[in-house]
């Protein structure tokens, strides 16, 4: 017990640092994937066949292979196969490579959710806008977009919660996120070794954060309840 | 001079000829009813006038200006068509109100967006906004919705929604207001309030084209009735002529379904 009390502050401090990296990856991914997903969605809905085919193939590859594998390929392929260290070195390079892999992966999932959302909006909405002399751009931003957002909040929430936990996959390229920080105490770090509880304790961080997100996303859903 | 002239309009969907050589014209302040069974091409005809469908052949002229000529590619360009749509207003069967805007917001939206294209928009933003708001309020009051302006579409009855949609179309002051079966999605109780509003518009000499299955209403409100069958105009004339003394057997058969 005494030993635990001694170790606890050290572990928490280390986990905090790891969790900060987890959060950074989480927010960077969201920031990148939310708009990129929309662009991919428009690509796959394009009436220009080569573009829509190309987009669909890319989405198929990204969704059809493990994110872990994508992380490994994106991080190691340029250096080991092409002989070009495009990511630089150290933790920053791992973060950069992880961000690219995560943004791309999540954008593909988001794009399919967006596509479903856009296509579920009745044509009558667009026709009403056209008849009122609105441009297609105005119709999208002033009419369709908010209705789409309302419809996609539940499925996107699902993806966002998944993303919180998926960030741990970056461990595979040794990004020092919270799982990495917890595991460190098994091998030995800061005078603590052979301890598995710090790894298990990371669960608390995930639970608190995903709980917070669930509440926030629930509020967003409620906020959009003023129309149907 | 006729406010609207339609000549040789035709439209084919996947080898089905929906419109076959449609010709008609309309004087300012006149109300024309388009009647006929489902699939006879009435709705497609209206959608062509509003450029929601592109006719394969034909000419559409408003106030003598050729808006659309299938033979003249200059008139069929997408960019040019947007402004031309403003000559027409369209009220849909299923209202198609924008759910995230209040009744007032629905009526104001398009006017606000169009105002942005005015050269003096930046300096007079507030005055323009107030003008648009005032105009929208007047229209909604005229539609009997003075106490419903701040309501969202889902808080309104079908009849109220359709009246908002009429106000929304009127807000842009179209030359010709088109109705596509405006009461077909409403129960009989709500139909009355919408028809009353259209009747009032007719009394104010609003130029209108109405596609409807409400025969008594069509007879009452219109100056001219067009009976369409299988993509053609089979018979047209005054309400008295078409409803009272239909010449064609098909017209008689169709009207026979409506006990008057």
For residue range A85-133, what is the model confidence (pLDDT) as tens digits? 888 888 889 999 999 999 999 999 999 999 999 999 999 999 999 999 9
Q: How far apart are CA A217 and CA B95, in angstroms?
A: 31
pLDDT per residue as tens, chain B (260 positions): 799 999 999 999 988 999 999 999 999 999 999 999 988 999 999 999 999 999 999 999 999 999 999 888 888 887 888 889 999 999 999 999 999 999 999 999 999 999 999 888 888 999 999 999 999 999 999 999 999 999 999 999 999 999 999 999 999 999 999 999 999 999 988 999 999 999 999 999 999 999 999 999 999 999 999 999 999 999 999 999 999 999 999 999 999 888 65
Cβ contact B82–A135 (<8 Å)? yes
What's the topology of domain A2-226?
MetI-like fold (1.10.3720)
Where do we find the tokens 């450029």? B51
Chain B closest-CA separation from residue A47 CA (Å) = 16
Report chain A residues whose CB lies below 8 A from the CB of B99: 147, 227-228
DSSP designation for B10:
E
B94/A133 Cβ within 8 A: no
Contact status, residue B59 vs residue B252, Cβ threshold 8 Å = no
- Collapse the DSSP code of A18 into the 3-class scheme (helix H, G, I; strand E, B; otherwise coil) and give the result: helix
What residue spans define the domains of chain A? Answer: 2-226
Cross-chain CB nearest to A133 (options B85, B92, B99): B85
Question: In this predicted model, what pLDDT tens digit does every residue of A55-69 receive, in sequence order?
Answer: 999 999 999 999 999
**B35 - beta bridge partners?**
B227
Report helix, strand or coil for A176.
Answer: coil
Residue in chain B closest to A223 (alpha carbons) equals B100
The sheet carrying B65-69 orders its strands as B16-26, B4-13, B57-62, B65-69
Contact present, B20 and B10 (Cβ < 8 Å): yes
Residue in chain B nearest A135 by alpha carbon: B82
Q: How close, in Å, is residue B229 to chain A by CA atoms?
A: 26
pTM beyond 0.90, yes or no: no
Residues of B at the A interface, defined by Cβ within 8 angstroms = 50-52, 82-83, 85-86, 88-90, 92, 94, 96-100, 109-110, 113-114, 152-154, 168-169, 172
For residue A124, which residues of chain B lie inside 8 Å, CB to CB? 92, 94, 96
**Residues on chain B touching A127 (C-beta within 8 angstroms):** 52, 92, 96
């Amino acid at each position: 017990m005494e030993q635990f009390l001694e170790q606890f502050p050290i572990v928490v401090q280390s986990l905090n640092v790891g969790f900060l990296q987890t959060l950074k990856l989480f927010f960077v991914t969201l920031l990148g994937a939310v708009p990129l997903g929309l662009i991919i969605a428009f690509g796959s809905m394009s009436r220009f066949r080569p573009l829509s085919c190309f987009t669909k193939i890319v989405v198929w590859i990204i969704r059809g292979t493990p994110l872990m594998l994508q992380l490994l390929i994106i991080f190691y392929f340029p250096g080991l196969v092409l002989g070009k260290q495009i990511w630089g070195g150290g933790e920053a390079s791992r973060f950069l490579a992880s961000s690219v892999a995560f943004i791309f992966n999540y954008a593909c999932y988001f794009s399919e959710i967006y596509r479903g959302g856009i296509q579920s909006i009745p044509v009558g909405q667009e026709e009403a806008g056209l008849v009122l002399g609105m441009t297609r751009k105005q119709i999208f931003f002033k009419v369709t977009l908010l209705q789409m957002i309302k419809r996609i909040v539940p499925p996107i929430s699902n993806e966002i919660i998944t993303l919180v936990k998926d960030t741990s996959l970056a461990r595979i390229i040794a990004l020092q996120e919270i799982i990495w920080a917890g595991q460190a105490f098994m091998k030995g770090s800061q005078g603590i070794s052979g301890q598995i509880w710090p790894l298990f304790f990371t669960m608390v961080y995930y639970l608190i954060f995903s709980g917070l997100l669930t509440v926030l996303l629930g509020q967003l859903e409620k906020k959009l309840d003023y129309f149907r | 001079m006729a406010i609207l002239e339609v000549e040789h309009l035709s439209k084919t969907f996947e080898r089905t000829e929906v419109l076959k050589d449609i010709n008609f014209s309309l004087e300012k302040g006149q109300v024309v009813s388009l009647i006929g069974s489902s699939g006879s091409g009435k709705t497609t005809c209206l959608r062509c006038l509003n450029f929601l469908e592109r006719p394969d052949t034909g000419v559409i002229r408003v106030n003598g200006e050729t808006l659309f000529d299938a033979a003249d590619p200059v008139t069929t360009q997408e960019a040019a068509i947007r402004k031309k749509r403003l000559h027409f207003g369209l009220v849909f069967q299923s209202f198609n109100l924008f759910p995230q805007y209040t009744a007032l917001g629905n009526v104001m939206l398009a006017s606000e967006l169009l105002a942005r294209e005015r050269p003096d928009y930046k300096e007079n933003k507030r005055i323009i906004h107030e003008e648009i708001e005032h105009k929208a309020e007047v229209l909604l009051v005229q539609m009997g919705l003075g106490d419903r302006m701040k309501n969202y579409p889902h808080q309104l009855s079908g009849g109220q929604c359709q009246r908002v949609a009429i106000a929304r179309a009127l807000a842009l002051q179209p030359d010709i207001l088109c109705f596509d079966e405006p009461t077909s999605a409403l129960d009989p109780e709500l139909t009355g309030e919408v028809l009353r509003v259209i009747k009032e518009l007719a009394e104010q000499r609003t130029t209108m084209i109405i596609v409807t299955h409400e025969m008594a209403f069509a007879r009452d409100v219109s100056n001219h009735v067009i009976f369409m069958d299988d993509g053609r105009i089979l018979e047209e004339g005054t309400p008295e002529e078409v409803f009272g003394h239909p010449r064609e057997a098909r017209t008689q058969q169709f009207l026979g379904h409506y006990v008057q």
